[in-house]
Amino acid sequence: MKTNQTNTGGMFLENESRYGFNETVEKLTEQVGIIGWRVLNVLDLQAILHEKGKEVLPIKIFEVCNAKHAGRILEQDAERLYASLLPCRISVYQTSDGKTRISRMNSGTMAAQIGGLTEEVMSVAFAEMETALKAIQI
Protein backbone atom coordinates (compact mmCIF):
# COMPACT_ATOMS: atom_id res chain seq x y z
CA MET A 1 0.00 0.00 0.00
CA LYS A 2 1.63 3.19 -1.19
CA THR A 3 0.55 6.33 0.63
CA ASN A 4 1.38 9.72 -0.85
CA GLN A 5 2.18 12.48 1.66
CA THR A 6 4.15 14.69 -0.74
CA ASN A 7 4.02 18.41 0.00
CA THR A 8 1.50 18.03 2.81
CA GLY A 9 3.85 17.78 5.77
CA GLY A 10 2.19 14.45 6.47
CA MET A 11 -1.11 16.17 7.29
CA PHE A 12 -2.98 14.58 4.36
CA LEU A 13 -2.85 11.07 2.95
CA GLU A 14 -3.62 9.91 -0.57
CA ASN A 15 -3.83 6.39 -1.96
CA GLU A 16 -4.77 4.97 -5.32
CA SER A 17 -7.88 2.79 -5.32
CA ARG A 18 -7.77 -0.68 -6.80
CA TYR A 19 -11.22 0.04 -8.28
CA GLY A 20 -12.79 2.55 -10.65
CA PHE A 21 -14.56 5.63 -9.32
CA ASN A 22 -18.10 4.27 -8.90
CA GLU A 23 -16.96 0.96 -7.43
CA THR A 24 -14.66 2.79 -5.01
CA VAL A 25 -17.64 4.86 -3.83
CA GLU A 26 -19.62 1.64 -3.28
CA LYS A 27 -16.74 -0.16 -1.54
CA LEU A 28 -16.04 2.81 0.73
CA THR A 29 -19.67 2.95 1.81
CA GLU A 30 -19.55 -0.79 2.49
CA GLN A 31 -16.29 -0.65 4.44
CA VAL A 32 -17.49 2.23 6.61
CA GLY A 33 -20.45 0.10 7.69
CA ILE A 34 -18.31 -2.98 8.30
CA ILE A 35 -16.22 -1.12 10.90
CA GLY A 36 -19.36 0.19 12.64
CA TRP A 37 -19.22 3.73 11.31
CA ARG A 38 -21.91 5.60 9.43
CA VAL A 39 -21.89 7.69 6.26
CA LEU A 40 -23.66 10.90 7.27
CA ASN A 41 -23.47 12.69 3.95
CA VAL A 42 -21.90 12.43 0.51
CA LEU A 43 -21.17 15.65 -1.34
CA ASP A 44 -21.00 15.18 -5.10
CA LEU A 45 -18.73 18.12 -5.92
CA GLN A 46 -18.73 17.31 -9.63
CA ALA A 47 -22.53 17.72 -9.74
CA ILE A 48 -22.52 20.79 -7.50
CA LEU A 49 -19.92 22.55 -9.63
CA HIS A 50 -21.66 21.48 -12.85
CA GLU A 51 -24.75 23.37 -11.65
CA LYS A 52 -22.53 26.47 -11.43
CA GLY A 53 -21.13 26.01 -14.93
CA LYS A 54 -17.79 24.49 -13.88
CA GLU A 55 -16.74 21.07 -15.18
CA VAL A 56 -14.43 18.91 -13.06
CA LEU A 57 -13.62 15.22 -12.97
CA PRO A 58 -15.68 13.01 -10.61
CA ILE A 59 -15.19 13.79 -6.93
CA LYS A 60 -17.26 12.89 -3.89
CA ILE A 61 -16.60 13.88 -0.31
CA PHE A 62 -17.82 11.45 2.35
CA GLU A 63 -18.64 12.67 5.85
CA VAL A 64 -18.34 9.65 8.12
CA CYS A 65 -18.82 9.30 11.85
CA ASN A 66 -18.65 6.88 14.72
CA ALA A 67 -21.01 8.13 17.44
CA LYS A 68 -18.99 6.47 20.22
CA HIS A 69 -15.82 8.30 19.23
CA ALA A 70 -17.50 11.62 18.45
CA GLY A 71 -19.43 11.49 21.70
CA ARG A 72 -16.28 11.14 23.78
CA ILE A 73 -14.98 14.41 22.34
CA LEU A 74 -18.25 16.32 22.21
CA GLU A 75 -19.36 15.50 25.76
CA GLN A 76 -16.36 17.39 27.21
CA ASP A 77 -16.47 21.20 27.08
CA ALA A 78 -12.69 21.41 26.88
CA GLU A 79 -12.62 19.09 23.85
CA ARG A 80 -15.49 20.69 21.90
CA LEU A 81 -12.97 23.09 20.41
CA TYR A 82 -12.08 20.23 18.07
CA ALA A 83 -15.65 19.72 16.84
CA SER A 84 -14.64 21.23 13.50
CA LEU A 85 -12.63 18.05 12.89
CA LEU A 86 -15.90 16.08 13.00
CA PRO A 87 -17.24 14.29 11.11
CA CYS A 88 -14.27 12.68 9.44
CA ARG A 89 -14.06 13.45 5.73
CA ILE A 90 -12.78 11.18 2.99
CA SER A 91 -12.47 12.23 -0.65
CA VAL A 92 -12.80 9.88 -3.60
CA TYR A 93 -11.80 11.43 -6.90
CA GLN A 94 -10.66 10.65 -10.38
CA THR A 95 -7.47 12.22 -11.72
CA SER A 96 -6.70 13.23 -15.31
CA ASP A 97 -4.73 9.99 -15.80
CA GLY A 98 -7.96 8.02 -15.16
CA LYS A 99 -6.94 6.74 -11.75
CA THR A 100 -9.22 6.84 -8.74
CA ARG A 101 -7.71 8.15 -5.54
CA ILE A 102 -8.74 8.35 -1.91
CA SER A 103 -7.58 11.19 0.31
CA ARG A 104 -8.15 12.21 3.90
CA MET A 105 -6.62 14.22 6.68
CA ASN A 106 -3.98 12.35 8.66
CA SER A 107 -5.91 12.63 11.90
CA GLY A 108 -3.31 10.47 13.65
CA THR A 109 -0.67 13.14 13.07
CA MET A 110 -3.13 15.91 13.89
CA ALA A 111 -4.15 14.15 17.11
CA ALA A 112 -0.55 13.84 18.27
CA GLN A 113 -0.26 17.64 18.13
CA ILE A 114 -3.42 18.09 20.20
CA GLY A 115 -2.80 15.54 22.95
CA GLY A 116 -5.08 14.41 25.75
CA LEU A 117 -8.48 12.84 25.19
CA THR A 118 -8.72 14.14 21.63
CA GLU A 119 -5.44 12.44 20.74
CA GLU A 120 -6.64 9.20 22.31
CA VAL A 121 -9.98 9.21 20.47
CA MET A 122 -8.72 10.46 17.11
CA SER A 123 -5.85 7.98 17.09
CA VAL A 124 -8.24 5.07 17.55
CA ALA A 125 -10.65 6.47 14.96
CA PHE A 126 -7.80 7.01 12.49
CA ALA A 127 -6.59 3.42 12.92
CA GLU A 128 -10.11 2.06 12.37
CA MET A 129 -10.59 4.05 9.19
CA GLU A 130 -7.17 3.11 7.82
CA THR A 131 -8.07 -0.56 8.38
CA ALA A 132 -11.27 -0.07 6.38
CA LEU A 133 -9.43 1.70 3.56
CA LYS A 134 -6.88 -1.11 3.19
CA ALA A 135 -9.55 -3.18 1.45
CA ILE A 136 -9.92 -0.53 -1.26
CA GLN A 137 -6.47 0.90 -1.92
CA ILE A 138 -3.55 -0.49 -3.85
Domain boundaries, the chain: 12-134
Residue 35's pLDDT is: 95
Helix (H, G, I), strand (E, B) or coil at 39: strand
pTM recorded for the entire structure: 0.89
Region of 124 (left: φ > 0; alpha: ψ -120 to 50; beta: rest) is alpha
Q: What is the mean pLDDT of each run of 10 residues along the chain (138 residues)?
A: 58 96 97 96 98 98 96 94 92 98 94 92 95 92
Residue 10's pLDDT is: 84
Residue 1's pLDDT is: 46
Edge-to-edge strand ranges of the sheet holding 88-94: 12-16, 100-105, 88-94, 59-65, 38-44
DSSP secondary structure string for all residues of 56-118: ---EEEEEEE-HHHHHHHHTSGGGGGGGGG-SEEEEEEE-TTS-EEEEEE-HHHHHHHH-HHH
The CATH architecture that domain 12-134 belongs to is 2-Layer Sandwich (3.30)
